[in-house]
Amino acid sequence: MVLPFIQLGLQVLGTIIGCHSASSQRKENQKQRDFTDQQNQKTRDFTDQQNQKIRKEEENYQKIVREDQRKYDEHKSQLDRDHQLRIQQNAHLNNKELVELQQKHQTELETLKADFKEKGAQRAREFAEKMQSMKQKNQEEIANLNYLQSLEIIKNELEYERIVKDLWPLENTPMQLLETHNPKSPLGIPLTVLMVNTSNPPYSDLDADITTDLRDFKRQQIDPIDPKRYIDFMDGAWKKDRQGGGAAIQQIRSLCRSMPMLILEAQFIPQANGNDEGYFNINFAYWGLDEGTYEYYGPFLSQLPCKSFQDNSQIRQFISVCFKLILGFCTDAHYIKHYEKPPFFPDLIKPVLKVLDHKVLDHQETTSLTENLIEQYCQALESQKEEKGLLISEWLLEIAWSIHYIPSLAVRIADRAVRNRFSI
């Protein structure tokens, strides 16, 4: 009964790497909207300037490619003319000697073509690296611009005090957050993870245990793969008397847009009769370095019945697994998109789901869920083919190798890697 709810959530995760979904539709007050519009306009102006530079680099690259093609065609034509001249000058040769002459010419053409392809591939790699470097620098500059703009509103004490007093949902003030997340820090910009539990009793204390699970998950599963995927957990930051949802997250986003952030929200809704056999909603929000609006805010799971589980400990364990999947997926997406780090999420799936095997899910359901996760993940990766180029096929091959324990799926992913390689 649980599996269909998770599979629905996977379709949501699949949007994170490749797509931009709409943000919360809750209305802001006019003053807040005006400030947000000003921030977005400044960011757009900077982005337009940088895009012009990128387009100029692309135009220069295309000129070089066309010039290489012209030289190749010219060289090939010269080889063809030389070959025809040799045939005319050696009309007395017998058939065997003419065949050898033709084979020599064919070898020359193949060598020329191989050199041309290798040179083109090298140029493409160098260009892709240059573009990624430019885009990453732009993202960091945008993060710094957003950081400075957020400080501007804090200097307006009346507006700042109104937001903190009436609307701000966190124990930490915006200034405290910004002071500890300067985008110019030599350590880089971490992905901040905020756990929100707006559940009613008996699940109102879930967040402490689950945050501990997430810290252990990072230390035991993510850090051994790459300790430089910085994740900063904000424990107990959400005010107990504040509701979650899009309106609260919009307030955080308005002042902390320079901080890449993942917000995980669990919400228990009791039945009308007041007993604990209600249902759970699991929501999340994510934004990266350069998003003008949310990358995504919305449900991962909606109205999951509590009666699907044997006891409260199983519910806690299940929510923890869902949050680990979201954290792993979004961390991977964040570092793929902004830093071109290789994927690691497929390596995490098996150990994460292991705790559900034979408890909440049977073995066949666990295998089915694993396949579904990897399929959604690979589709999201492939949606980045135009931007990431040859890296996608390399990453797909790595994924195929990492899931050798599901041979049929590994073969399908490897086949897609090959197709992607030759379609670029």
Give me the mean pLDDT over the 104-117 stretch: 90
DSSP state of 318: H
**Residue that wins the pLDDT comparison between 256 and 165:** 256
pLDDT band at 23 (very low <50, low <70, confident <90, very high): very low
Q: What residues does 286 pair with on adjacent strands?
A: 262, 296
- Asked if the model's pLDDT at residue 22 lies above 70, the reply is no
- Asked if the model's pLDDT at residue 151 lies above 80, the reply is no
Give me the mean pLDDT over the 27-40 stretch: 58
pTM for this structure? 0.72
* H helices present in 219-344, as ranges: 246-255, 312-339
Asked if 407 contacts 44 with a C-beta cutoff of 8 angstroms, the reply is no
* Tokens representing residue 39 in the block: 């921030």
- Asked if the model's pLDDT at residue 390 lies above 90, the reply is no
- Kindly list the strands in the beta sheet with 191-197, ordered across the sheet, starting from the edge strand earlier in the chain: 231-234, 191-197, 261-269, 279-287, 296-305
| CA-CA-CA-CA dihedral for 313, 318, 323, 328, to nearest 10 | 120
pLDDT band at 323 (very low <50, low <70, confident <90, very high): very high
Between CA 356 and CA 361 the distance in angstroms is 6
What is the structure's pLDDT at 136?
Answer: 78
What is the structure's pLDDT at 99?
Answer: 83
**Residue that wins the pLDDT comparison between 24 and 397:** 397
What is the structure's pLDDT at 216?
Answer: 93
Question: Of all residues in the chain, what percent carry a pLDDT higher than 70?
Answer: 82
What is the structure's pLDDT at 156?
Answer: 64
- Asked if the model's pLDDT at residue 174 lies above 60, the reply is yes
- Asked if the model's pLDDT at residue 27 lies above 50, the reply is no
Q: What residues does 269 pair with on adjacent strands?
A: 279
pLDDT band at 16 (very low <50, low <70, confident <90, very high): low
For 282-303, write each residue's pLDDT tens digit: 889 998 876 555 556 778 888 8
* H helices present in 20-156, as ranges: 30-89, 95-155
Q: Which residues contact 48 (CB under 8 A, 6 or more apart)?
A: none
* Tokens representing residue 108 in the block: 């020359």
Residue identified by tokens 């005010």 is: 239
Question: Residues of 352-386 as b/e, b for ≥16 C-beta within 10 angstroms?
Answer: bbebbeeebbeeebbbebbbbbbebbbebbbbbbe
Q: How many residues does the chain have?
A: 424
Asked if 200 contacts 271 with a C-beta cutoff of 8 angstroms, the reply is no
What is the structure's pLDDT at 73?
Answer: 92
- Asked if the model's pLDDT at residue 314 lies above 50, the reply is yes
Asked if 230 contacts 261 with a C-beta cutoff of 8 angstroms, the reply is no
Tell me how far the alpha carbon of residue 352 is from its chain's centroid: 19
For 42-57, write each residue's pLDDT tens digit: 777 888 888 888 889 8
- Asked if the model's pLDDT at residue 410 lies above 70, the reply is yes
Per the prediction, the chain carries an average pLDDT of 80
For 338-376, write each residue's pLDDT tens digit: 777 888 888 888 888 888 876 777 778 888 888 888 888
Residue 51's SS3 state is helix
Q: What letter represents residue 44's amino acid?
A: R
Asked if 212 contacts 236 with a C-beta cutoff of 8 angstroms, the reply is no
> What does DSSP say about strands 231-234 and 191-197: parallel, antiparallel, or unpaired?
parallel
